[in-house]
Amino acid sequence: MSSSSRNTIFVEDALVLSHESFDGEQFILRVMAPKCAAHAVAGQFAHLQCDPQRPMRRPISIMRVSASEGWVDFLYKRLGEGTALLATRKPGESISMFGPIGKPFSVQRSRPLLIGGGVGMPPMIFLAEELKNHGVKPFVILGSEVPFPFTPRPSQHMLEGLPAGVIACMPLLDDWGIPSRLASQQEFAGCHRGYVTDLARSWLQTLANDELAEVSLHACGPHPMLEAVVRLAGEFGLPVEVSLEEFMACAVGGCAGCVVEVEEETGPEMRRVCVDGPVFDGYRVFR
């Protein structure tokens, strides 16, 4: 664990408050974890014990928190044995977890574009809410190849530069006054048929140079999507942050099981996704 992470990660027995299931093997878990809720910032994650008989934990991105009420929300997809066990946990049960962990997003420009794909959506929702609370209104693009874990609806916020008919949004973001659009190749109603980066490019192409100077990109999702986001940022000369998803064992920097190669000023270096990230400068990861 790096010195910057010491005394910032809390171990808690988190009480399950609710556990909702959605199409596509997706779940939203809400737990009572006051210490994590009080300290978490967008881009961080928690390490959850999926079952008392399964000691190896799973890293799951934080989607929302309420510091005042003490709850933390996670959106995850059932993929393997660990998350299959986690999906069986019921309200009233306790889950051992520690968090928040990792380096968060750092937004320096006034017009951030947030892009989330699949289980990479949660950090973007957290970041959008955090920005809203600081008086900044981002544009959020979310993509999924399975039904979204919410019911899309036509957005109240019209934006120029988007393909005709692309009107579907995430209701929660819309209610917050944050414009959002959805992308998928599954022909979901009101969604852009194609990649999130295609939709983002359509919007960016409509901006004048002085407007582009206010834009930054922030993304989380599968590696091919993140590579495409970094290429897109390069096309328009924009700063870009990416949140990486990696398998983890300890999640606190001790095992070095989640290292990735990052281009530093002195050359390539191996960095731990858990505590040196998960958020990195996109240009340093995808060169």
For 49-64, what is each residue's pLDDT tens digit? 998 888 889 999 999 9
- pLDDT grade, residue 247 (50/70/90)? confident
Residue spans of alpha helices (H) in the chain? 34-39, 81-86, 121-133, 171-175, 196-204, 209-212, 223-236, 282-285
pLDDT for residue 5 is more than 80 = no
Domain residue ranges in the chain:
3-101, 111-245
Residue spans of alpha helices (H) in 40-155? 81-86, 121-133
- What number is the average pLDDT over the span 75-94? 94
Domain 3-101, what architecture?
Beta Barrel (2.40)
β-pairing verdict for 139-143 and 111-117: parallel
The residue type at 4: S
- Edge to edge, what strands does the sheet with 111-117 contain? 192-193, 180-184, 139-143, 111-117, 215-220, 240-243, 279-281
- What number is the average pLDDT over the span 204-211? 94
Residue range 111-245 in CATH 3.40.50.1100: no
pLDDT for residue 278 is more than 50 = yes
pLDDT at 3: 45
Q: Which residue has the tokens 């998350």?
A: 83
The two three-digit tokens of residue 201, written as one number: 């490019």
- What number is the average pLDDT over the span 194-222? 95
Residue 148 and residue 165: Cα distance in Å, rounded? Answer: 18
Residue 37 and residue 46: Cα distance in Å, rounded? Answer: 11
- pLDDT grade, residue 7 (50/70/90)? low
Q: Are 93 and 269 in contact (CB under 8 A)?
A: no
121: helix, strand or coil:
helix
pLDDT for residue 24 is more than 80 = yes
What value does the mean pLDDT of the chain take? 92
User: What is the gyration radius of the CA atoms in the chain, in angstroms?
Assistant: 18
